[in-house]
Amino acid sequence: MDKFQLPERRLETHHFGFTYISKRRRRQIAEYYNRQEKLLESFNEVESFTELGILPQALTEKEVKQLARSEKTAIYASNIANLVLFLAKVYASVESRSMAVIASTVDSLLDLLSGFILWFTDYAMRTPNHYIYPIGKQRMQPVGIVVFASVMATLGLQILFESGRQLITKIALYTISNWSGTVMENVWSLIGRAAPPEYIAKLTYLIWNHHEEIKKIDTIRAYTFGIHYFVEADIVLPEDMSLSHAHNIGEALQEKLEQLPEVERAFVHVDFEFTHHPEHNPKRTN
């Protein structure tokens, strides 16, 4: 990818008899070049991945275990600190009966609840049961966030009804809007929203350069299924290729896709032609 370079950005503004480029137009052009630079960076990352077989920023097994221990220690320390702070605020609320102190106590309770949800989701994801949950329990995290954000929005609304105008404008409205946005973000991640076009382009580049025997790429889909993507790829191989050879190409591509940090699972379909209709169309409900 080193031979591909973006042209220099030259935006000249003339007022008399020449073309005038508005600030909005200059901003749009700058954003376009930024997107192109990021796309080239992702292609370079795929090039390194194809040559080395591993991602440049991938963590080693030892680093992954150390990171998991650090996260676990941070969760426990945060829960203990939140518990101590909550008990202190409960005592202050009983003594002062101040609405501001009570609101602060509720906020500490929510911090304690969020810490518990983080601990529970982490424990649930680290103790999978492949008989009951065949594809793991990675979706526990967005579900926990949805539950917690719903509680935050509900309690924020309650504070809105019970507090004065000044308290409303400084605690509750911000809480409701912030956590409502978090709810919607995680709801989108649970209903299978498509990945952005830039990421699809990155996957296309990776798949096309996976093996020289790949003749065409029929279909590429990437959609959210929790916090990561599910990827579906249909590739076309020569019709006279042996089954074992085709299987090895498809399996190696699947393993390569699943090494990407944003991909949870990948499904590779191998075919010898591309004129058929797309497979696995969503069912229509009457």
> CATH number of the domain at 197-271, out of 1.10.599.10, 3.40.50.20, 2.40.30.30, 3.30.70.1350?
3.30.70.1350
Task: Residue 47: count other Cβ atoms within 10 Å of its Cβ.
Answer: 15
Domain range list for the chain: 1-58, 61-190, 197-271
pLDDT at 13 over 60: no
In the chain, the largest separation of any two C-alpha atoms, in whole Å, equals 83
Listed residue (197, 252, 259, 182) closest to 228, CA to CA: 259
CA dist 259 and 231 (Å) reads 12
Within 8 A by CB and 6+ apart from 7, the residues are none
Tokens of 80: 């203990």
Q: What was the pLDDT predicted at 209?
A: 92
Per residue in 112-169, pLDDT tens? Answer: 887 787 778 777 777 777 777 777 777 777 777 787 778 777 777 776 666 655 555 5
DSSP class of residue 133 equals: -
79 vs 75: CA distance, rounded Å: 6
What integer pLDDT is reported at residue 17 of this predicted model? Answer: 45
List strands edge to edge, sheet with 216-224. Answer: 216-224, 229-236, 263-271
Is the pTM above the cut of 0.85? Answer: no
pLDDT at residue number 94: 85
- Token pair for 238: 């020569």
Backbone angles phi, psi at 199, to 5 degrees: -75, -35
User: Residue 65 is encoded by which pair of tokens?
Assistant: 């275990």
pLDDT tens for 190-224 read 888 889 999 999 999 999 999 999 999 988 999 98
Cβ-based burial of 257 (10 A; exposed 0-12, middle 13-18, buried ≥19): buried
- Within 10 A of 15 (CB to CB), how many other CB atoms are there? 6
User: Which amino acid makes up residue 278?
Assistant: P
146 compared with 266, residue with greater pLDDT: 266
Report which residue type is found at 88. A
Cβ neighbors of 237 (< 8 A, separation 6 or more) are 213, 214, 215, 246, 249, 270, 271, 272
- Nearest Cα residue to 201 out of 218, 215, 222, 223: 222
101-109 mean pLDDT: 79
Interior CA angle at 248 toward 62 and 215, to 5°? 115
Work out the pLDDT band at 7, boundaries 50, 70, 90: low
